Amino acid sequence: MTPKAIVFTDWDGTVTLQDSNDMLTDDLGMGHKNRMLLNDKIINNELTFRNAFKEMLDSVSKNGYNLQYCIDYLIKNVKLDPGFENTVKFCSINNIPLIVVSSGIDIIIESLLFNLLDPSLHKFIQIYSNHVKSPNEFDSWNIVYRDNSDFGHDKNQSILHAVNKYYGSSTERGTLFYCGDGVSDVSAARSCDLLFAKSGHDLVDICIRDKINYLEFNSFHDILSEIKKELNL
């Protein structure tokens, strides 16, 4: 059955209450102050997210923390948005694909989902993200980006791929929702019918600056409520 909608969502800081990449950089890597300097450069188009992300993760590995240590650290300290589980349940019941499109790393996302979400719901979540190749515990993290874009993962392309997968060449398609919080979500935001931007985060400021329509949210409870209204469910 053709889905009546697709829900796309960023991961870090959107599905999770804490941004795992920021947490690793602040706590185990270069520290908050240096990360914010890189973040400002990204927002001002002085540095690509791709290069900044590598600098951040390199700072973690240079301090001696391997991938497994970092995953264990995040499992202990990261929590999921309290409304996310019900959103996944709603999507599974109503045949609505839920797809994580992230500029983060697949193994970290998968590990957090495995430990923090009801196991029966895992099969309903698809993940499009970057990959990391860590040959052994002493090596630095080698990021395998999803594509050659400035973000390392052009979320717009992943959305187009999913739309083609579910709707093909049909002139009719379902509603495309996107949930995000930061600069890497801008290209994805332009591809969807309804954008949810997290309150108090960079994406709201960018939407205001660039005149992008959006709905502000505090948790997935807000998102689920709006999706139900939009789809009359």
- Active site residues per annotation: 10, 12
**C-beta atoms surrounding 61 within 10 Å:** 20
Q: What are 140's two structure tokens?
A: 């630095």
Name the residue with tokens 């789809």. 231
Residues 6+ apart with CB under 8 A from 231: 4, 5, 94, 175
Give, in degrees to the nearest 5, the angle at Cα 54 between 155 and 190: 20
Q: Contact at 8 Å (CB) between 176 and 192?
A: yes
- Alpha carbons 92 and 97: distance in angstroms, whole number: 7
Write down the H helix ranges in the chain.
20-28, 32-43, 49-62, 67-77, 84-93, 106-116, 155-167, 186-189, 202-210, 220-231
Which residues are paired to 176 by β-bridges?
6
DSSP state of 124: G
Give, in degrees to the nearest 5, the angle at Cα 173 between 169 and 175: 150
Name the residue with tokens 């599905």. 15
